A and B are shown apart, each in its own frame.
Chain A
Amino acid sequence: MSDKICKLTSIEELEKKRALVLAERPEISTVTVCCGTGCQAFGGQKVAQAFQEAITAHNLKDQVVVKTTGCHGFCERGLLVVIRPQNIFYQHVRLEDVEEIISETVVNGRVIERLLYITPDGSSKITSEEDVPFYKKQMRLVFGANGYIDPTEIDDYIAIGGYSALAKVLSSMKPEQVIEEVGAAGLRGRGGGGFPAATKWKSTREAHGETKYVICNCDEGDPGAFMDRSLMEGNPHNILEGMIIGAFAAGSSKGFVYIRNEYPLAVKNTEIAIRQAEEYGLLGENILGSGFSFRIVINRGGGAFVCGESTALMASIEGKVGEPRAKYVHTSEKGLFDCPTVLNNVETWANVPLIINRGSEWYASIGTENSKGTKIFSLVGKINNTGLVEVPMGISLREIIYEIGGGIPDGKKFKAVLTGGPSGGCIPESLLDLPVDFDELTRVGSMMGSGAMIVMDENNCMVDIARYFLKFLEEESCGKCVPCREGLKGMREILDDISEGKGDESQLDLLEEMSAVIQDGSLCGLGQTAPNPVLTTLKYFRDEYLAHIVDKKCPAGVCKALISYNIVDDNCTACRLCVKACPSEAIEFIGKKIPVVIHQEKCTKCGACMEACKFKAVEIR
């Protein structure tokens, strides 16, 4: 890092700066420590510090650099450490491994087998990061840089070509050309709607009014989604660069980054990035001497899910209650403070420098006919490789789940994958070969949404899943319009009934009738998409609903009212672990022939006995 601040006043100075940064960085060994939120939980910062101390102790300060980076994506295997330039990939690293990594790998060049990734079948150990199957099938165009840069160092970003797209735009492109380029690339909004970004920019540019705003939506609230967070935390300059380019194209001089306050690291790293970019003359007055000025302010969200909706987000920035309003006049004409406003999601902005640098033709060659480029998905739930994956549009769900995600843990059977967050749809096994893009997901009743993929196995009850997500949305509904506020409550009550065995078949028709009204009648996207999990589970897993209603059974053994825990006498060894584990004293020890009995009237169905039993002698019926 350079210690003195130098304001860059021209594009030549930026390029000189880049050359200087690169010259100051000889090809020496770099220990990159993932300090994304997941790996921080495993002590990322402490491990990084220990590496620093070990390097000092070994007198390697001139030969080895320690870099704390943002999320690498393979969160399942955290804490991740990669030794570059060889890209030796160590997983599950802990504080006690640090000394050995330095003395063995860095000093002696020996690989520590224990820390390598082993393929799930146990057949081979993998040394190099790019050979890990989780990464191999990915196309990490946007997310890949996370593993190489320290998000708090602007020079790191400049060293990998950062702000060169901005330089290109300011030196050789007109705003209209930028819009045309992004339009030709076919960039669609990554926040869920999939609206063409260039169309928004164009109508904002052409809208009347002196003041125009640019907003980055980082109010990611979908359960299981953390791609925006990881981009914002791990590579904030990439998003800033995209926003500056967007502002130039739309004719805006002020922007906001709306980050939910539950993402403190994202807030902190963005604050640092804005300050550094201002110091370098890449943000603020007269950017790179071009005459174009643009400022960015951070706005922290208070935690309401609905504030991810564009009009609610704008109301929140304005200091009002975060409630959506009708968008009959587009926000690109009348948005924040009634001024023309471009709002895009974090990932959308992150794609912009890429398009400018490598051209729309190249970008449009990736993906499907109407969905271009890559998409980052968070792969969570019943999946071996939990983490963030970036794949080209059009890849099949099967490839994502089995080849990248490593399939379902414990040899269980795949049941469904919910894409698009709580208002997405549950896609069954028969559709696993579906190419993943905006239109295909919508066609089967789901959506791209923010890109959360929650994988479910045979132990998930689809009625329970639908109820869970509906309840989430019921609680997050702002309550403004009747169909969403009262309708979601009504639907959830029906699902409560069904999961308690009190439902009847006519309620399934009522659920469908209500879904249609809530989709048609709700004011904003939250309500309009909220019935999706119910509709898709009804469509693809109707037999499970009927099992609850007609047979009064929960086939997956989840809905408490419809299951009971029982002892398999043949397996029971009378060890009495279950008796000790039961918190409600519902299990009685009897004797040898029938060792223990569960008194159903006392049982709270917590499952502690089943967890405690080592002999598979407790079963759900």
Chain B
Amino acid sequence: MVTLKIDGREITADSGKTVLEAARENNIYIPTLCVNEAVAAYGACRLCMVEVTRGNRKRLVASCLYEVAEGLVVDTQTERVVNIRRMVMELLLARCPNSSEVIDMARNLGVDKSRFQPENQDNSCVLCALCTRVCREVVGKSAISLVSRGTDRQVALPFCDDSDACIACGSCVYVCPTNAIKMEDRGDVRIITWPSSAHEFKMKKCASCGSHFAPEKQIAFMMAKSGLEAEKFELCMNCRP
């Protein structure tokens, strides 16, 4: 246990926790875009930057990665911090001009419009990498990853084409904070649309009611992982006893 101060409030936190975790436990709001408790902190969106003082040294850090320490003084709203957050949102607004999630978040941080020219009206991916991290760290497939550098960076399947490793579980869709990955179940197929390409996956038919209830590859993956026999995966949720 350590004692630290966030925005003048003295709080205690388990050592090893990050400043962001400690703040959230104490209902102190720090905005984030690339944080999700299912995966390791990444430090890419920079919205969670805070100013910390330790001894005589003052510095700006990403609170999602910076660990609490005894006597640490944290400021979540200094001018420099606010400037970073606003600029990040302005830049993301130019990147994703029509994403309602980005627009809302920007507004919450006091940014109504961007001074930068939008390039692609349809883009809504902020490159937070939650999708690729969930795919690797939680699902364990690494079916999608980030390719290229800088502003050419995008979320993609290998060669934007090879969906072999993907089990169509939809975790990437679920975790995306800006709805940039779309998923639709249409009869016997599931269609997942990533920013770089769309792919179809075959759905399994329920042996009892005939509805298509889950991607075949996901069932195969679960079967291999659980070691259960095939019969256990024949029925949809509704028809299971």
Q: Which residues of A are at the interface with B, using a C-beta cutoff of 8 A?
A: 304, 306, 321, 325-326, 328, 474-483, 485-490, 493, 510, 513-514, 516-517, 520-523
Contacts and interface: CB of A to CB of B under 8 A. Distances in A.
Given A321-B146, A328-B67, A481-B44, A510 B115 contact: yes
Given A304-B149, A482-B127, A485-B150, 17 more contacts: A328-B61, A328-B67, A475-B149, A477-B149, A479-B149, A480-B129, A483-B84, A483-B87, A485-B127, A486-B91, A487-B91, A490-B94, A516-B80, A517-B87, A521-B49, A521-B84, A523-B62
A520 B95 CA distance: 21
A479 B153 contact: yes
Contact of B46 (A476, A510, A513, A521): A521
B46 A523 contact: yes
B66 interface: yes
B87 A521 contact: yes
A390 B127 CA distance: 44
Contacts of B144: none
A486 B95 contact: yes
A14 B115 CA distance: 67
B20 interface: no
Q: How large is the interface on B (under 10, 10 to 19, 20 to 34, 35 or more residues)?
A: 20 to 34
A479 B150 contact: yes
B92 A482 contact: yes
Interface of B: 42-46, 49, 60-62, 65-67, 80, 83-84, 87-88, 91-92, 94-95, 115-117, 126-127, 129, 146, 148-153
A493 B48 CA distance: 27
A489 B95 CA distance: 11
A357 to B, nearest CB: 37
B40 to A, nearest CB: 10
19 contacts: A306-B149, A328-B65, A475-B149, A478-B153, A479-B148, A479-B149, A482-B44, A482-B91, A482-B92, A482-B127, A485-B150, A486-B95, A489-B151, A493-B117, A513-B87, A517-B84, A520-B60, A521-B46, A521-B88
B153 A485 contact: yes
A516 B83 contact: yes
Nearest to B47: A482
A474 B87 CA distance: 17
A304 to B, nearest CB: 7
Rank and list the top 5 A-B pairs by shortest CB-CB distance, nearest first.
A479-B153, A486-B91, A521-B84, A517-B87, A477-B150
A475 B46 contact: no
Given A482-B45, A483-B88, A521 B60 contact: yes
B171 to A, nearest CB: 20
Contacts of A523: 43-44, 46, 62
B119 to A, nearest CB: 9
B87 A481 contact: no
Given A479-B148, A479-B152, A325 B94 contact: no
Contacts of B92: 482, 486
B83 A520 contact: yes
A595 B53 CA distance: 73
Contacts of A479: 127, 146, 148-153
B149 A326 contact: no
Given A476-B150, A480-B44, A487 B87 contact: yes
Contact of A493 (B67, B116, B129, B153): B116
Contact of B88 (A325, A478, A482): A482
A478 B152 CA distance: 10
Contacts of B91: 482-483, 486-487, 490
B116 to A, nearest CB: 5
B240 to A, nearest CB: 41
Contacts of A517: 83-84, 87-88
A511 to B, nearest CB: 11
A304 B148 CA distance: 11
A309 to B, nearest CB: 13
A325 B61 CA distance: 12
A568 B95 CA distance: 48
Nearest to B153: A479
Nearest to B86: A517
Contacts of A475: 149-150
A473 to B, nearest CB: 9
A326 B148 CA distance: 21
Nearest to A521: B84
A138 to B, nearest CB: 38
A357 B85 CA distance: 52
A20 B66 CA distance: 57
A102 B142 CA distance: 64
A485 B62 CA distance: 17
Contacts of A476: 149-150
A403 to B, nearest CB: 40
A477 B44 CA distance: 13
Contact of A514 (B67, B87, B129): B87
A522 B49 CA distance: 10
A212 B146 CA distance: 31
A485 B42 CA distance: 15
Contacts of A513: 83, 87
Nearest to A328: B66
B165 to A, nearest CB: 17
Nearest to B119: A489
Contacts of A493: 116-117
A481 B43 contact: yes
Given A481-B44, A485-B153, A521-B46, A490 B146 contact: no
Residue among B94, B116, B129 with max Cβ neighbours from chain A (10 Å): B116
A194 B112 CA distance: 42
Nearest to B33: A482
A522 B83 CA distance: 13
A520 B46 CA distance: 10
Contacts of B152: 479
A172 to B, nearest CB: 38
B57 to A, nearest CB: 13
Contacts of A488: 150
Nearest to A489: B151
A222 B143 CA distance: 34
Contacts of A521: 46, 49, 60, 84, 87-88
A483 B46 contact: yes
A489 B117 CA distance: 11
Contacts of A478: 149-150, 153
A477 to B, nearest CB: 4
A306 B45 CA distance: 18
Contacts of B83: 513, 516-517, 520
A310 to B, nearest CB: 16
B111 to A, nearest CB: 13
A485 to B, nearest CB: 6
Contacts of B94: 486, 490
B84 A520 contact: yes
Contacts of A326: 43, 61-62, 65-66
Contacts of A482: 44-46, 88, 91-92, 126-127
Contacts of A490: 91, 94, 116
A566 B67 CA distance: 64
